[in-house]
Amino acid sequence: MEAVEVEEVTRVFEPRRRGSTRVVALDSVSLTIPTGEIHGLLGPNGAGKTTLVKILSTVLLPTSGRARVLGHDVVDETQAVRPLIGIVFGGERGLYWRLTGRQNLEYWGALYKLSSRQTKARARELLERVGLADKADQRVEEYSRGMKQRLHLARGLMGDGRVLFLDEPTTGMDPLAAREFRTLIGELRGEGRTILLATHDMAEAEAVCDRVTLIDRGKIIATESPRTLGHLLTRFQRIDVEGAPEAVLEEIRTMDGVTNVAAVDGAGVRIEVDAEGVTQLVLERLVAAGVTSVRTGLPSLEEVYVQLIGERGMEL
């Protein structure tokens, strides 16, 4: 059984006040996530990531189309879906600030119908797991942003959901905490959970996801493994070179298909191309000029993302 099935889902927000406009947040989106997969949903702000997560979490109705979680329809079978999912929405809000971290988790445990003993044990285990055990009895209002985010994560795991929807879960985390988060995701994968991770952090998606869906303006652009997405864009290959004579670089700069020749990190130069076969021509010219320090590479997911989505990606 697929963990998540999305079929032609469209979500339109109609204008509610004078002056506001109709927004198509999702436009015939289809997506399938097999059980046990960690799936990244990558896109700029306003791409439709959160809208899709909300529909799958049963808190937003699609305008048309169908979505199922572990075989249950998110519109007609909400009572079957809700015990199966865990949600982490990003941002600092979403917690009772006047209560302690432990009290917040105990409340959410009760909402997931855990017994008092189960709730206390699970809260203790999760606080330990997200590194908040020593701050468990401190009020949330005294937590840093990163600590709140970790508590959000623990809260999303209280119900022991088989499918987890994480919407920008590392917002506000410091690099160390973000790295620990990735380790935690790996552990969750080991437990057989399915995770949909909505993010605009390319490095995060590349590090933890089995597959990534690129989404922009409500439409899916591509769904592939991070590596395959890179291969898709081999035409955007880059060539890092050291010690190339300036005259040769100038010649390469004028070649068809070469989009950029720029110095990087002081000594080296990066040559970027945007057409098939151009890499070979550039390499031949460099070798002919006696340049031996040459390295070619596939673009990172970030570069793929920027190339596919274009300048809008820079609005992040």
Stretches 87-95, 196-204, 215-223, 276-284: which one binds another protein (CB under 8 A)? 87-95
Least distance (Å) between residue 88 CB and another protein: 9
Q: Which of 25, 24, 44, 41 is nearest to 33 (CA)?
A: 41
Residue 22 as a binder of another protein (CB under 8 A): the answer is no
3-state secondary structure of 162: coil
Residue 271 as a binder of another protein (CB under 8 A): the answer is no
**13 vs 180, beta carbon nearer another protein:** 13
DSSP 8-state code for residue 73 = E
Residue 24 as a binder of another protein (CB under 8 A): the answer is no
Cα end-to-end distance, the chain, whole Å: 35
Least distance (Å) between residue 173 CB and another protein: 18
Residue whose entry in the numeric block shows the structure tokens 């057409």: 275
Least distance (Å) between residue 232 CB and another protein: 33
Give one DSSP letter per residue of 16-69, joined into a string. Answer: -STT---EEEEEEEEEEEETT-EEEEE--TTSSHHHHHHHHTTSS--SEEEEEE
**28 vs 103, beta carbon nearer another protein:** 103
Instruction: Please select the residue that binds another protein; options are 113, 231, 253, 295, rule is CB under 8 A.
Output: 113
**54 vs 211, beta carbon nearer another protein:** 54
Instruction: Please select the residue that binds another protein; options are 89, 143, 181, 236, rule is CB under 8 A.
Output: 89
Least distance (Å) between residue 171 CB and another protein: 13
Stretches 58-66, 245-253, 275-283, 295-303: which one binds another protein (CB under 8 A)? 58-66
Residue whose entry in the numeric block shows the structure tokens 């909505």: 198
Residues 155-174 that bind another protein (CB under 8 A): 155, 159
Paired sense of beta strands 2-13 and 23-34, if any: antiparallel
Contact 150, 73 (CB under 8 A): no
Residues 127-146 that bind another protein (CB under 8 A): 139
Which residues, at least 6 apart from 302, have a Cβ–Cβ distance to it below 8 Å? 202, 203, 206
Contact 86, 164 (CB under 8 A): yes
**151 vs 233, beta carbon nearer another protein:** 151
**165 vs 181, beta carbon nearer another protein:** 165
Instruction: Please select the residue that binds another protein; options are 20, 45, 59, 128, rule is CB under 8 A.
Output: 59
Please give the Cα distance from 15 to 47 (Å, whole number). Answer: 18
Maximum Cα–Cα distance for the chain, whole Å?
A: 75
Least distance (Å) between residue 94 CB and another protein: 4
Q: Which residue type is seen at 76?
A: D
Please give the Cα distance from 312 to 228 (Å, whole number). Answer: 22
Task: Summarize as ranges the residues that interact with another protein (CB under 8 A).
Answer: 13, 16, 51, 54, 57-61, 79, 82-83, 85, 87, 89, 91, 93-99, 103, 107-108, 110-113, 139, 155, 159
